[in-house]
Structure 1
Amino acid sequence: MDVSAVPNIKQYINGEFLEADSNEMFSNISPFTNKEINQVAKGSEVDIDIAVAAARDAFKHGPWREMPVKERLNYIKKIADLIEEEAEEISYLESLDTGLPISQTKKQAARAAENFRFYAEMVNSRLVGEAYQVDEAFINYTIHKPVGVAGLITPWNAPFMLETWKVAPALATGNTVVLKPAEWSPLTANKLAEIIDKAGLPKGVFNIVHGFGETAGAALVAHPDVQLISFTGETKTGSEIIRNGASTLKRVSMELGGKSPAIIFDDADLEKALDAVVWGIFSFNGERCTANSRLFVQEGIHDEFVRLLKERVDNIIIGDPMNPNSEIGPLIHKEHFENVSRYIQLAREEGAEVISGKIPEELKEGNYVAPTLLLNCRNDMTVAQEEIFGPVMAVIPFKSEEQVLEMANDSKYGLAAYIWTTDIKRGHRLAQKVDSGMVWLNSQNVRDLRIPFGGSKNSGVGREGGHYSFEFYTETQVVHVSIGEQSIPKFGVKKKQQITASEIR
């Protein structure tokens, strides 16, 4: 993996690529070699202030929110076209930066272009108001207006796609943006800035400040001129963002952690269920918020299903993320590798049987964790309750529908769930009782861009996706119009004195 041609990264503010105000840089480290890829401008509160001022000025005085919708959406479509043109480089940079296998990052680049094209269509077809007539006296109607400066804080897993997932609806609805990408994955965020710059958006409409969460991220959250904060990441950070942004009454959208259950009944199509749960936990190196990290298998098929799981784990290809045949690459960062490894050791201490693949000797410099099964688990174990965010799945047997529902819901998280059964009545019944924002019934994790995405409990606040994003990225304003004669109460008007008959005489 040649990193010699990767340039250093600057901030992108007000249409220019700039050094940080402090001129400080930080190292971007390869997950494959743990050596430096490049240097990145280290943003601070000062850089956030400059970026927010540019975005605020572009919103208040620039052409973006006032330009005809068709013209604005032409920019959005142009960004999509440019992403498609640059898809090969984007997928390469994503794999280089994150360790995700390139066969998977190629699909993410395509999905990113689709995000922009989709929201260009949605604004045209679904960003509509309603009208309410009251007899012949009034017509009340609603319109959707952009809110202002959107602060977007994005994670390091599938960063390019998740950045576009937020940037596309924010821009398409007329807001301006300050993006703070994850410090562990800055390469494709910078590529997005280059693409948007090439698309020719007005200055200040889109800005990026690179840096650390506790400095640049915290400053963005607390800034009084930022009206919206959309965050994807871990639950602890999400709760801190809500707390820190409360004093300025920001709108917040939080897509947080998960410990999603997959429930396999003994009447399920086992081959399809096996394909789905293996993909669901081991693709994206297990660094996926909707991963089925808790697997509940009914007792009648438990032993056979575990046998098949072991075979699959043995056959998963661990390799260089640039190799198109690789199915598992290195975890994003040494710190995260150590955290996932700590959970695997904890599983042993808690009494689980740990089944894990082997890391080839030539990959030992990277942050590799082999696909891992935790057998003989109980739902109250730490490894079954806390989000590990790696290629690690806890396997738990169950007897009845009632028992598995109780265990599935016995978690602080509620992002996703997966149910496999040929008893469709049971499938619907259980799906509606599981505490999660999303449920897949007899399906792997596939998603239509039109549906809402989000979780319950500690897995998030609000919904984004489809027209549901408009509730967050736009202000609904009501206009009341009088169309008939009205009787308006008179206040402060001196009443005329009545004249009596005796006064006339």
Structure 2
Amino acid sequence: MTTPTTPTTPTTPTDPTERHVPQGLPTHLQHFIDGELRDSVDGATFGVLDPVSNEDYATAAAGQAADVDAAVQAAQRAFDSGVWAEKPARARARVLNRIADLVEASDTRLAELETFDTGLPITQALGQAQRAAENFRFFADLIVAQTDDAYKVPGKQINYVNRKPVGVAGLITPWNTPFMLESWKLAPSIASGCSVVLKPAEFTPLSASLWVDIFTEAGLPKGVFNLVNGIGEEAGDALVKHLRTRLISFTGETTTGQLIFRNSATHLKGMSMELGGKSPAVVFADADLEAALDSTLFGVFSLNGERCTAGSRILVQRSIYDEFVERYAARAKNIVVGNPHDPRTEVGALVHPEHYERVLGYVEVGKTEGRLVAGGGRPENLPVGNYLAPTVFADVPSTARIFQEEIFGPVVAITPFEDEADAVRLANDVKYGLAGYVWTSDLTRGHRVAQSIEAGMVWLNSHNVRDLRSPFGGVKASGLGHEGGYRSLDFYSEQQAVHVTLGDVHTARFGAHDTH
């Protein structure tokens, strides 16, 4: 059963505790395998709740190994048939652009359902839906414009690269901004000619079900896209271990990524993993303080703090530290926490009570490690739902757990530094290396510090604004490999070197001489 994609206009709650329930909400979510909606082979299901009420609104089919096998087999048949993999790039691009058109046409409905399922503020969910459409349009353009190398040895040889889709790709996506992050993997894998099996996060299966109607209406052939719901330890594990999945693209938590890496090694699968982060935002005394405040507040509190690239460690030069902390705390206390469907809301409800309790646990630890200057608990006007006031700890030592460990919520640690060397040392003093942010008016120093930070991506005098052509990924415990632009197409493709002889080839004639 899929959700209608007819746009609706969300009502604006007047009561912050009001539960907004979208019209046409499904009560049961099924797998989509070989062009058909199906329940699990054994009939297993699990409950799906919304984070405002923490009440189940639907059940979802709980995928097991048999369901994953059916999906992978369907994807393999579609791939082997060549119905998609052998289509010219221009023909594939037309379908991708139709997908983008359908996403854009339904962005209001998509955002409403995403907000209901995840607790993200409606204004931010709308932006994610629009970004999802852009992902498909971007890769439609890229596969048409793509060129491959050729090498000429004059009079002797021409060598060229033949690019081919790898096969069946397993895509495992997280629960934060799920629809957009699903598009991040679906667009390049399908653009490359692969067939796919998507395993969305069990906390947020609703928006994944929308792909069924979108892909069907856009004309994607049967079996190219398959969807299996389920928990990671069952459906995700089966997808990783299946003999016919050639690639695994995973976004999620670092320890889960390590397990997937181990399980993929047995069959030497291609791996791309974007994992956790504990990204530093370094603010020097000569920075544009107003811009740095705006950016660092947005960088950790947007998307409810549930973002891998959140600048959740703010390192501030000692001479401006007290002023920064005072102003940052005042702004954090003024952030609007409320019903995710209210367009005035800036921080909504955390995705699930299990995650909410985990974040609250870190808040309690933080009270013993730093100085609490804002937040620290549930807002008084929101007695129900997974709400946490934006929480700010100052004077946090680098040994603290809230400095070292990913919290993935609206919680930030602020730490002073003395000079450039001290800033770089603190920035790199964690196991993660996904993103970094540097604020200074001295661009020479800005470049120097940016290049010294151990991170896959660094922004200078900006929050996370990314060009889709640029590499996305981390170092250390933050991931393996980079995607984005041609790097994504490289991951989902095999590059075969073909060598063509243009003249006589001198070859030693083994065994041609007379031995008698």
TM > 0.5: yes
Residues 291-346 of structure 1 deviation map (CA, whole Å, 9 limit, x = unaligned): 00000010110111111111111210011000011001010000000000000101
Distance in 1, matches of 2:515 and 2:323, equals 94
- The Cα of 1:62 is off from its aligned counterpart by 3.9
Of 109, 114, 118, 2:134 maps to 114
Per the alignment, in what secondary structure is the counterpart of residue 440 of structure 1?
A: strand
- Residue in structure 1 matched with residue 447 of structure 2 by the alignment: 428
Residues 66-117 of structure 1 deviation map (CA, whole Å, 9 limit, x = unaligned): 1222112211111111111111110001000000000000000000000000
- Residue in structure 1 matched with residue 71 of structure 2 by the alignment: 51
- Residue in structure 2 matched with residue 400 of structure 1 by the alignment: 419
Per the alignment, in what secondary structure is the counterpart of residue 370 of structure 1?
A: coil
2:436–2:457: 8 Å Cα contact kept in structure 1? yes
Of 442, 454, 463, 2:473 maps to 454
Query: 2:47 matched to 1:30?
Result: no
Which AA in structure 1 matches 2:446?
A: G
Structure 2 residue runs without a partner (length 5+) = 1-19
Deviates more, 1:350-359 or 1:419-428: 350-359
2:376–2:391: 8 Å Cα contact kept in structure 1? yes
1:77–1:117: 8 Å Cα contact kept in structure 2? yes
Residues 375-398 of structure 1 deviation map (CA, whole Å, 9 limit, x = unaligned): 111011011000000000000001
- Residue in structure 1 matched with residue 3 of structure 2 by the alignment: none
2:75–2:224: 8 Å Cα contact kept in structure 1? yes
1:318–1:359: 8 Å Cα contact kept in structure 2? no
- Residue in structure 2 matched with residue 467 of structure 1 by the alignment: 486
Largest Rg, 1 or 2: 1
1:180–1:217: 8 Å Cα contact kept in structure 2? yes
Identical-residue share of aligned pairs (%): 51
Of 275, 281, 287, 2:306 maps to 287
Query: 2:429 matched to 1:410?
Result: yes
Q: TM-score with structure 2 length normalisation? A: 0.94
- Residue in structure 2 matched with residue 15 of structure 1 by the alignment: 35
Alignment of 1:10-159 (within 5 A): 10-126=30-146, 128-159=147-178
Residues 450-498 of structure 1 deviation map (CA, whole Å, 9 limit, x = unaligned): 100000000000000011112211000000000012222212324397x
1:31–1:333: 8 Å Cα contact kept in structure 2? yes
Of 347, 354, 359, 1:328 maps to 347
How many pairs are equivalent?
496
Per the alignment, in what secondary structure is the counterpart of residue 156 of structure 1?
A: coil
Q: TM-score with structure 1 length normalisation? A: 0.96
Per the alignment, in what secondary structure is the counterpart of residue 268 of structure 1?
A: coil
Distance in 1, matches of 2:460 and 2:509, equals 62
- Residue in structure 1 matched with residue 205 of structure 2 by the alignment: 186
- Residue in structure 2 matched with residue 297 of structure 1 by the alignment: 316
Distance in 2, matches of 1:383 and 1:64, equals 48
Distance in 1, matches of 2:236 and 2:274, equals 16
Distance in 1, matches of 2:56 and 2:138, equals 36
Alignment of 1:329-408 (within 5 A): 329-356=348-375, 359-408=378-427
Of 243, 251, 255, 2:262 maps to 243
Per the alignment, in what secondary structure is the counterpart of residue 202 of structure 2?
A: coil
Distance in 2, matches of 1:329 and 1:52, equals 37
Structure 1 residue runs without a partner (length 5+) = 498-505
- Residue in structure 2 matched with residue 219 of structure 1 by the alignment: 238
Per the alignment, in what secondary structure is the counterpart of residue 506 of structure 2?
A: coil
- Residue in structure 2 matched with residue 196 of structure 1 by the alignment: 215
Which AA in structure 1 matches 2:175?
A: W
- The Cα of 1:129 is off from its aligned counterpart by 1.3
- Residue in structure 1 matched with residue 278 of structure 2 by the alignment: 259
Which runs of at least 4 in structure 1 moved beyond 6 Å after TM superposition?
A: none
- Residue in structure 1 matched with residue 12 of structure 2 by the alignment: none
